[in-house]
C-alpha cells in the first residue's frame, strides 16, 4: 500500500517505450491517474511501429501508409490518456537492439537532463518478450544508472514474460485503475490498425465486468540499482 501511494504523488513522469500502443495495455490507466492528480507526463516513443504486421481488419493501411496512420493513432491515444507532451524519437521499428547504445543513451539522457523526472516508466530488460522492449528498457536502465543517487529518479518497469516472478519477484506496485478504464479503453481503441480484431473490439466484445477484471489493474516492478 505504501508503494502504491508513492505513485500517486509523482508530479513529473517520463515514459520511454519503443512502439505506439505499448502504452495502451500496460500503463495507460496509471498515466491517466497521474494526469488527473496533476502530474506532467512526457511520453517518449522510440519508433512509429512501421514494421507492424497488422494493417487493420479489413485492411485500411499498407506498408507505405502505416507509419503515418500509427503516428495519428499514437496522438489519439495520448489525447485519450491526457498526455500533452509526446516526443517521437525517430528510431526504426524492430531495430532498437541493433542501434548504437551510445546514440540511444544520448537521446534518453537528453530527456532526463531536460525534464528532471521524479519517475521513469519503461520495460524491464530481459522480461518483456519483444527485443525492442528489452533493448529500450536496457537503454533506460543504463542511462538512469549513470546518474548519481541524488539525481536518479525512480524507475518503474513493465514486465510480462512467463515465470518472471521466479526471477525478479512479485510486482511491488499494483495500481487499481478501474476508475480510469474509460481513458484506458479509449487509448487501446485509438490503435485501430493493430487492435481492431482484438477480442474487446471484435465480435467477441467483452462485458463490462470482464473489462474490469482484465484491465482494471496495472503492475510494475521498481528497478533496484544496487
Number of Cβ atoms within 10 Å of the Cβ of 112: 20
As a whole number of angstroms, the distance between CA 51 and CA 8 comes to 35
- The mean pLDDT of 152-173, rounded to a whole number, is 94
Residues with Cβ within 8 Å of residue 155, at least 6 apart in sequence: 119, 120, 121, 122, 140, 141, 144, 222, 223
As a whole number of angstroms, the distance between CA 137 and CA 214 comes to 25
Pairing of strands 119-123, 154-158: parallel
Report pLDDT for 198. 52
* Rounded distance between C-alpha atoms, residue 191 and residue 55, angstroms: 11
Q: Which of 15, 13, 4 is nearest to 218 (CA)?
A: 4
Q: What is the pLDDT of residues 118-151, one digit of tens each?
A: 999 999 999 999 999 999 999 999 999 999 999 9
Tens of pLDDT, residues 65-104: 999 999 999 999 999 999 999 999 999 999 999 999 999 9
pLDDT score for 133: 97
**Residues 6 or more apart from 202 whose CB is under 8 A from it?**
196
Cα–Cα distances in Å, from 86 out to 15, 170, 173, 197, 223? Answer: 10, 31, 25, 26, 24
Considering Cα of 170, then 9, then 113, then 148, what sign does the dihedral take? negative
Q: Strand pairing of 12-17 and 154-158?
A: unpaired
pLDDT over 90 at 182, yes or no: yes
Please, what are the domains in the chain?
2-220 (3.40.50.10320)
CA 153/CA 117 separation, integer angstroms: 6
- pTM attached to this predicted model: 0.92
Amino acid at each position: 500500500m505504501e508503494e502504491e501511494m508513492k505513485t500517486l504523488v509523482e508530479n513529473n513522469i517520463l515514459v520511454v517505450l519503443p512502439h505506439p500502443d505499448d502504452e495502451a495495455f500496460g500503463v495507460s490507466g496509471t498515466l491517466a491517474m497521474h494526469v488527473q492528480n496533476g502530474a506532467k507526463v512526457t511520453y517518449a516513443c522510440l519508433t512509429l511501429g512501421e514494421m507492424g504486421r497488422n494493417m487493420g481488419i479489413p485492411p485500411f493501411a499498407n506498408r507505405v501508409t502505416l507509419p503515418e496512420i500509427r503516428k495519428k493513432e499514437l496522438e489519439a491515444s495520448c489525447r485519450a490518456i491526457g498526455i500533452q507532451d509526446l516526443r517521437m524519437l525517430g528510431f526504426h521499428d524492430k531495430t532498437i537492439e541493433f542501434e548504437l547504445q551510445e546514440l540511444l543513451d544520448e537521446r534518453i539522457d537528453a530527456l532526463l537532463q531536460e525534464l528532471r523526472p521524479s519517475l521513469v516508466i519503461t520495460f524491464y530488460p530481459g522480461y518483456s518478450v519483444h527485443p525492442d522492449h528489452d533493448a529500450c528498457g536496457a537503454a533506460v536502465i543504463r542511462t538512469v544508472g549513470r546518474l548519481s543517487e541524488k539525481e536518479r529518479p525512480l524507475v518503474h518497469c513493465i514486465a510480462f514474460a512467463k515465470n518472471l516472478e521466479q526471477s525478479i519477484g512479485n510486482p511491488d506496485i499494483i495500481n487499481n485503475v478501474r476508475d480510469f478504464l474509460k481513458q484506458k479503453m479509449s487509448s487501446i481503441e485509438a490503435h485501430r490498425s493493430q487492435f481492431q480484431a482484438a477480442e474487446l473490439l471484435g465480435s467477441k466484445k467483452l462485458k463490462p465486468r470482464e473489462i474490469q477484471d482484465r484491465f482494471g489493474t496495472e503492475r510494475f516492478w521498481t528497478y533496484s540499482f544496487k
